């Protein structure tokens, strides 16, 4: 599988020592100077068929050399009876894409052509990793394997045949060059519990919150993990700094406590212990943070056509920009039967809206799985007769029990003065959320409820998680429209907007957020924690 050269070993040591010196621990979601274990050195940086190094997962799949017969060149699995007859789920023990299905057993990785029912074959794996894999996740052109220390190893070109598969241990900025990265909070220790999942989006298009279709062709990779009590969702993008600083704000203003997570093509599915579920399309591009390939707008847009391709959309203002803020979480209907914590989402078509949900469970005393297209309102059941592997949940199928698993509000409140005797207040501020309620209080004592939209900015250097003393740049806008400033009775709010916010009903600004203050670059307002 290739060997790590002395130069690469030196680079690994240098980058790791630099990272630790900066105070970011690779083995924890917290800032720490504590040394971490190192990734397995026999897994290469750049392998034989990583044809556009160091960018695995970026381009559309390479063609297979011999088609399904390539699997016949792999050695057969020694104990076929120990491996599943069918692969129905994408979890941390098995997975599939449109061409390949894979399974983990006793630390070894096995694969075969999708729906072939042929004998399982052993995947060529670097010696130090073979037998040491504790969890896997598969999506489109990538498989990710974790070792016992939670380090990430990628098997790329998975939509091609085994002859072009390659391993790499690079993951994280700059542009996949970081020599070894871990998942947070030891998610690898619970391989059946669905605590992390890989996403590789290569869909042809997605719809923004206004329903406008946007073309996208380049692959986008993110690894999502549940952290703390399940109310935090950390995502790691191999182009972003090698840290745990990026999050997807969870449902219910970040208070929903998930017990399981699965993601496919940038659409994430979460479930709580009562079987309540939400889905959301979210990644660096759809959230509005990546201005290199994307053109976004916080402003109300006149009706414009969808662009014919991504390049035209990026540079031609005659086509619709991606509408911000991005998509909210969408509740999924409760399943009318017994379910477990074993959940799965997978691509079922060419667009980001083509997703199928699956949840292990029972119906009429028979085991199997519940499933539906993501936009469908009802669930169907497919019996399998296989033993249940997930934790059986004891929710009420007829009742939304989301409120029973909400984390406490964080009680992080900010307040500051505006000119002419106005004040601005935001309570229970969750920085990772897309929308934040804001209250404006006039000199006469009247209150106006408006919204603040934010998205985490693009960074090049590592930083710690959450809010601390290091300012986090959030891009965003203040939306005054919910307070109807155009109405005569709201004339004082209208005067404030004209004088301090350039008359814009949606006022764009960057925010420098710390644990003690929110500083708006324009119009220079500072909210202090109270």
Cβ–Cβ < 8 Å for 312, 319: yes
Match 């160091």 to its residue by tokens: 54
| pLDDT for res 217 | 73
| pLDDT for res 172 | 86
330-332 and 277-281 strand pairing: antiparallel
CA-to-CA distance for 461 and 17, rounded, in angstroms?
A: 15
| pLDDT for res 178 | 86
Please tell me whether the overall predicted TM-score, pTM, comes out greater than 0.85 for this model.
yes
Domain ranges in the chain are 6-182, 196-405, 414-529
Match 């209150």 to its residue by tokens: 447
Residue 171 pLDDT > 60: yes
| pLDDT for res 194 | 86
pLDDT digits (tens, 9 = 90+) for 398-433: 999 999 999 999 999 999 999 999 999 999 999 999
CA-to-CA distance for 155 and 1, rounded, in angstroms?
A: 11
Q: What does the angle CA 219 – CA 269 – CA 198 come to, to the nearest 5 degrees? A: 40
| pLDDT for res 18 | 42
Confidence tier at 67 by pLDDT (50, 70, 90): confident
Confidence tier at 344 by pLDDT (50, 70, 90): very high
Residue 514 pLDDT > 90: yes
Residue 9 pLDDT > 50: no
pLDDT digits (tens, 9 = 90+) for 32-66: 334 568 999 999 987 766 554 445 445 567 788 88
Mean pLDDT of 77-102: 95
Instruction: Report the chain's C-alpha Rg in angstroms.
Output: 24
Residue 86 pLDDT > 50: yes
CA dihedral 37, 41, 43, 46 (to 10 degrees): 110
Residue 4 pLDDT > 70: no
More confident: 176 or 329:
329
CA-to-CA distance for 346 and 216, rounded, in angstroms?
A: 18
| pLDDT for res 64 | 85
Residue 191 pLDDT > 80: no
More confident: 271 or 51:
271
Task: Name the average pLDDT for the chain.
Answer: 89
């Amino acid at each position: 599988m290739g060997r790590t050269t002395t130069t690469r070993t030196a680079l690994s040591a240098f980058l790791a020592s630099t990272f630790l010196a900066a105070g970011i621990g690779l083995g924890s979601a917290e800032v720490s100077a504590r040394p971490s274990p190192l990734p397995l050195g026999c897994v290469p940086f750049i392998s034989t068929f990583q044809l556009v190094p160091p960018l695995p997962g970026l381009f559309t799949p390479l063609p297979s050399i011999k088609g399904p017969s390539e699997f016949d060149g792999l050695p057969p699995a020694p104990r076929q009876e120990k491996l599943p007859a069918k692969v129905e789920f994408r979890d941390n023990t098995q997975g599939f894409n449109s061409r390949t299905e894979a399974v983990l057993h006793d630390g070894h990785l096995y694969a075969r052509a999708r729906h072939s029912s042929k004998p399982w074959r052993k995947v060529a794996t670097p010696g130090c990793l073979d037998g040491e894999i504790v969890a896997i996740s598969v999506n489109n052109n990538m498989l990710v394997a974790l070792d016992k220390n939670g380090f990430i190893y990628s098997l790329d070109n998975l939509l091609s045949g085994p002859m072009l598969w390659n391993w790499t241990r690079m993951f994280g900025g700059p542009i996949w060059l970081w020599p070894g990265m871990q998942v947070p909070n030891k998610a690898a220790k619970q391989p059946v519990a669905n605590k992390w999942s890989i996403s590789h989006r290569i869909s042809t298009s997605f719809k923004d919150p206004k329903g406008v279709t946007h073309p996208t062709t380049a692959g986008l990779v993110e690894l999502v993990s549940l952290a703390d009590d399940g109310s935090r969702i950390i995502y790691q993008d191999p182009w972003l700094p090698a840290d745990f600083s990026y999050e997807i704000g969870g449902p219910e203003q970040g208070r929903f406590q998930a017990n399981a997570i699965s993601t496919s093509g940038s659409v994430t599915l979460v479930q709580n212990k009562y079987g309540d579920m939400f889905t959301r399309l979210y990644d660096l591009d759809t959230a509005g943070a990546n201005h290199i390939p994307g053109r976004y707008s916080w402003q109300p847009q006149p009706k414009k056509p969808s662009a014919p391709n991504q390049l035209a959309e990026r540079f031609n203002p005659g086509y619709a920009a991606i509408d911000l803020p991005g998509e909210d979480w969408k509740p999924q209907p409760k399943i009318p039967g017994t379910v477990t914590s074993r959940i799965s989402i997978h691509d079922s078509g060419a667009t980001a809206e083509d997703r199928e949900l699956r949840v292990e469970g029972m119906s009429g005393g028979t085991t199997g799985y519940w499933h539906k297209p993501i936009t469908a309102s009802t669930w169907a059941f497919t019996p399998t007769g296989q033993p249940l592997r997930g934790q059986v949940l004891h929710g009420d199928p007829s009742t939304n029990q989301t409120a029973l698993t909400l984390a406490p509000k964080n009680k992080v409140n900010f307040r500051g003065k505006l000119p002419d005797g106005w004040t601005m207040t935001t309570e229970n501020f969750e920085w990772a959320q897309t929308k934040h309620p804001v209250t404006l209080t006039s000199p006469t004592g009247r209150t106006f409820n408006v919204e603040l939209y934010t998205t985490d900015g693009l960074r090049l250097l590592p930083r710690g998680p959450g809010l601390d003393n290091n300012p986090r740049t959030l891009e965003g806008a203040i939306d005054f429209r919910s307070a109807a400033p155009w109405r005569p009775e709201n004339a004082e709010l209208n005067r404030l907007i004209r004088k301090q916010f350039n008359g814009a009903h949606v006022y764009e600004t960057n925010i420098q957020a710390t644990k003690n203050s929110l500083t708006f670059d324009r119009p220079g307002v500072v909210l202090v924690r109270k």
